[in-house]
Chain A
Amino acid sequence: MEPTNPVVDYLRMDRIPHIWCPGCGLGTVVNCFVRAIHSCGIERDLISVVSGIGCTGRMAGYLRLDSFHTTHGRPIPFATGLKLANPKLKVIVCSGDGDLFSIGGNHFIHAARRNTDMTVICVNNFTYGMTGGQVTPTTPIEAVASTTPYGNSEEPFNLPHLAESAGAVYVARWTTFHVRQAIKAMKEAVQKSGFSFVEIISPCPTLYGRRNKLGDGLEMMRAFKEKSKVKNGADTREVGLDFKGDIICGKFINRERTTFLERYNTRMAARLGAAYKPYEGVL
């Protein structure tokens, strides 16, 4: 019997080939994600993937899992509702840097603050890929975008530090070059109880690479390999990214905090006593 690609079982093959450009890292992220989910051994019907809008946002639509493609910036509120309606679900948000940290930035910090039990995977390509390469909250200073023709002058977010400061219990960063480490981080994040965050640095050769003379997807991958330094447990204050600078990768945070639902049930039980039946979902 001819062998089949293991990823195919998790893809809606009627939608493949996908729309992503040659050398775009998004397909590599899908491969890592599928392998991570598979190795978790969670029943498929208990997994939900939620994306926002953008090139990364298309991920949900290509996966043969329960998935939802929300409006721009809103995958975290949708995922919050999903998780609260059915706390048995493993809810995973996969979306872009623009979607999660520009229009959706508020949702990110509040979900982390509450410690809502979900995983957020951000594909950071430093740009709004889908709409033509505008600046995002992660575009490094100096980098050229369609909206910053003379180079960006805004300080970008340091995503791992933002996630830690807001309350995330698991925080890791890898690039699309670090596929094995990315699989392991996604698996650990999905298995972690509470708000977990994985940043994956990914090439957008078409709109970020070309404008910044960083070469094609392969050249960008080579740069990830050369510029990355693994520092597990690094102080997240020190992992901010500069244009063409080092990329600090690793598992930065792994800690315990009471989740939103646990705290809610404890509080209500303390107030209402035996009359309170712990909330376990509406289904």
Chain B
Amino acid sequence: MSESKKSNGPRGKVTINSELCKGCGFCIEFCPADVLDFSNTFNAKGYHPPRAARPENCTGCDLCGIYCPDFAIFGVLIKAVA
């Protein structure tokens, strides 16, 4: 991430529905801004859902939402690029 993007604060917001997650890791691997990590907690099905470890980096690109095969995560733009 470039400094200018960080100083402008988060441009996107990622929302996670942990109970739908099956722990495939697609969102974590393919998030271009390295926002996500696996959490240590389990959901009811026994999977580790992702957590937004670096939410300030989120651009709201929604690639996580497009990759997630279980419709458990998505990103939205909250602030237009300056």
Contact = CB atoms under 8 A, between A and B. Distances in A.
> Do A and B actually bind?
yes
B50 to A, nearest CB: 12
A100 interface: no
Contacts of B52: none
A35 B24 CA distance: 21
Contacts of B20: 16-17
A28 B76 contact: no
A35 B29 CA distance: 21
A5 B74 contact: yes
A31 B65 contact: yes
B15 A11 contact: no
Interface string B1-33: 000000000000101010010111110011000
Given A8-B71, A27-B71, A217 B24 contact: yes
A11 B71 contact: yes
A14 interface: no
A218 B25 contact: yes
B26 A218 contact: yes
A18 B67 CA distance: 15
A253 interface: no
Interface string A9-32: 001000011101111111110111
A42 interface: no
Interface of B: 13, 15, 17, 20, 22-26, 29-30, 47, 62-63, 65-71, 74, 76
Interface of A: 2-3, 5-8, 11, 16-18, 20-28, 30-32, 35, 177, 179-180, 183, 216-218, 221-222
